[in-house]
Structure 1
Amino acid sequence: MNKKITVDILMGVAIILEFLSLPVLIHEIIGIGLLFLVILHLKYNKKYFKAINKGKYDLKRTVDLIINIGLLISLLITIISGILYSQQSLKSLKIGNHKISHIHKSFSVFSIIFLGLHLITTRKKLLREIKK
């Protein structure tokens, strides 16, 4: 199995684990790990970013781009708010309050919605990678 698909699978597992009732410290550690996996995923898909300004945009490509931007923004807000609200692993950074917690929880739901849409739009490519 190549590195790219391994990262994708690990991201999926980490995201599922984040929605389980885990102790706060475990949730935060998995969240930090997820941040690194997202960075690797973006690195492995840099060709996509280089192609954004190239070619023509039909409806499918436009929808894909909107979904990907939505996913990226919602994940960034989820990650940043999670870091700000950290209760154990990054206690010294804690500047969050109830509002930050609400933002973190809300955007994690938006992230899951956009992730589902992202998986639907990339399912053929993903299945091809898994078969390799």
Structure 2
Amino acid sequence: MENKIKKRISVDLLMIVAIMLEFISLPILIHELVGIGLLFLILAHLKLNEKYFKAITKGKYTLKRTINLIINIGLLISLLITILTGIFISQKSLKNIKIGNNKMSDIHKSSSIISLIFLVLHLLITHKKLIRGLKKLH
């Protein structure tokens, strides 16, 4: 149990660092590599929280649970758009599959800001769980 908590917290903290790096001015290759790393961290986060997805169709939906689900779906969709457009407009790391244009770049930037907004909301609804996990490690 403690090992899973360590994995979850490690992945969550690495995601936060990677996201913060994505919003500072970095050379394009570093930005793209951090983005690819972030994709794998997101996949790991989803895998470590698969119990949540299995419970979506179970139980009653209160207003709070409904809002949480809407926030999580918004975050997932906006991240998916950000990741896909990032792949499409890649200039260095995945340049062989570049199919994007300036409009795609605008979508990438807009969706990353929307993702950040949903992320803040997601963190507001899940921060207690993260804090409990940190306390269990001590």
Q: Report the TM-score, using the length of structure 1 for normalisation.
A: 0.99
| 2:92 pairs with 1:93 | no
* 3-state secondary structure, aligned to 1:103: helix
Alignment correspondent of 1:70: 74
SS of equivalent residue, structure 1 residue 2:
helix
Q: State the shift of 1:22 in Å.
A: 0.2
Q: Which AA in structure 2 matches 1:76? A: L
Equivalent-residue separation in structure 1 for 2:130 and 2:61 (angstroms): 22
Q: Which of 22, 25, 47 matches 1:21?
A: 25
Unaligned runs of 5+ in 1: none
In 1: Cα distance, 2:38 partner to 2:135 partner: 24
User: May I ask how many residue pairs the two structures share in their alignment?
Assistant: 132
List aligned pairs for 1:1-132, cutoff 5 A: 2-132=6-136
Query: What CA distance in whole angstroms lies between the structure 1 residues aligned with 2:16 and 2:39?
Result: 12
- Alpha-carbon separation, structure 1, partners of 2:11 and 2:134: 12
Letter in 2 for 1:42: L
Q: Deviations over 1:16-68 (max 9, x none)?
A: 00000000000000000000000000000000000000000000000000000
Shift of 1:126: 1.0
Q: AA paired with 1:121?
A: I
Aligned CA RMSD, in angstroms, stands at: 0.7
Q: Percent identity?
A: 69
Query: Matches of 1:129 and 1:123 in 2, distance apart?
Result: 10
Q: TM-score, normalised by structure 2?
A: 0.94
Amino acid of the structure 2 residue aligned with 1:89: S
1:127: Cα distance to partner? 0.7
User: Where does structure 1 differ by over 6 angstroms across 4 or more consecutive aligned residues?
Assistant: none
Q: Distance in 1 between matches of 2:33 and 2:105?
A: 17
The SS at the match of 1:56 is coil
Query: C-alpha displacement at 1:130, in angstroms?
Result: 1.6
Distance 1:78 1:10 in 2: 18
User: Could you say what secondary structure the match of 1:126 adopts?
Assistant: helix
User: How big is the shift at 1:129?
Assistant: 1.1
